């Protein structure tokens, strides 16, 4: 298992940095500056975002909502989703189960 102190994780101005990976889950920090375009594709794993700071909007399937610090967002595996209309730099903790790239068995 590889783990880093969260305070030592410094993603680029826009990007994702994984800081924990086990057989069951992975965690990372995702940063999107104000005005950024979130071009991610649906994942094969379930995902949880915790909004550490910032403001914007989040679309998950048919649902669209405003997000800000303290919000927790769940995304089902293979569900289209993205952040948009980012008004303040978003810093997000991201949890994947199983780990990102492992996929959920059918």
Taking only the tens place, the pLDDT of each residue in 36-49 is 989 889 999 999 99
Domain span including residue 43: 15-97
Q: Which has more confidence, 105 or 95?
A: 95
Question: Which pair of structure tokens corresponds to residue 51?
Answer: 């909004």
In a domain, 9, yes or no: no
pTM, full prediction = 0.84
In a domain, 32, yes or no: yes
pLDDT higher than threshold 60 for residue 56: yes
pLDDT higher than threshold 70 for residue 85: yes
In a domain, 79, yes or no: yes
For residue 38, what is the domain's CATH number?
Answer: 2.60.120.10
In a domain, 78, yes or no: yes
Residue listed under structure tokens 């989703």: 81
Report the percent of the chain where pLDDT is more than 70. Answer: 85
Identify the pLDDT of residue 39: 87
Q: Which has more confidence, 6 or 88?
A: 88
SS3 content of the chain, % helix, strand, coil (to 5): 5, 55, 40
In a domain, 104, yes or no: no
In a domain, 60, yes or no: yes
In a domain, 57, yes or no: yes
In a domain, 67, yes or no: yes
Overall number of domains in the chain: 1
The whole-number average pLDDT for the span 86-103 is: 90
Counting Cβ atoms within 10 Å, is residue 20 exposed (0-12), middle (13-18) or buried (19+)? middle
Euclidean distance between the first and the last CA atom of the chain, given in angstroms as a whole number? 26
């Amino acid at each position: 298992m590889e783990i880093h102190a969260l305070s030592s994780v410094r993603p680029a101005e826009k990007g994702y940095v994984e800081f924990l990976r086990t057989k069951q889950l992975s965690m990372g920090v995702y940063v999107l500056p104000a005005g950024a375009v979130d071009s991610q594709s649906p994942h094969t794993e379930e995902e949880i975002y915790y909004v550490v700071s910032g403001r914007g909007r989040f679309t998950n399937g048919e649902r669209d909502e405003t997000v800000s610090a303290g919000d927790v967002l769940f995304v089902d595996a293979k569900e289209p989703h993205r952040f948009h209309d980012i008004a303040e730099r978003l810093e997000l903790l991201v949890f994947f189960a199983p780990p990102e790239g492992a996929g959920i068995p059918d």
